[in-house]
Amino acid sequence: MNDGHNYPLAASAVSSGMDDLLTGAADIYCAKQLMEQLIALFREGGMQLHKWSSNRKELLANSEVSDGDITLTIPDETKALGLAWRPQKDSLAFSVSANVNTCES
């Protein structure tokens, strides 16, 4: 990310280098700034971000992400990195399954 100095919020958010990004901001203004920087940073790298989820409708109304190739939603639940995020409650959840073996004597 050579352009990280131009987009400090975005560079900090993507520095861990994963396929899915889960992040947040202190307020809607900072969230909009982060979103705009992420879009610009990836655009300069020749990449387009495709899915956005938020618990704030005004964030998804951003004209920068109104492109037809981008999905903008406030779903009941969305999954990323093995976690389920519930935007309406702004909570994370995960499932655990246990294999139970019984021993017969």
User: What pLDDT does residue 56 have?
Assistant: 84
| pLDDT value of position 59 | 81
Q: Which residues of the chain have pLDDT under 50?
A: 1
User: What would the 3-class secondary structure string for the chain be?
Assistant: CCCCCCCHHHHHHHCCCCCCCCCCCCCHHHHHHHHHHHHHHHHHCCCCCCEEECCCHHHHCCHHHCCCCCEEECCCCEEECCEEEECCCCEEECCCCCCCCCCCC
Q: What pLDDT was estimated at residue 26?
A: 92
pTM: 0.63
pLDDT at residue 79 in the model = 82
In this predicted model, what pLDDT tens digit does every residue of 58-80 receive, in sequence order? 887 765 555 555 556 667 888 87
Locate the domains of the chain by residue range.
8-93
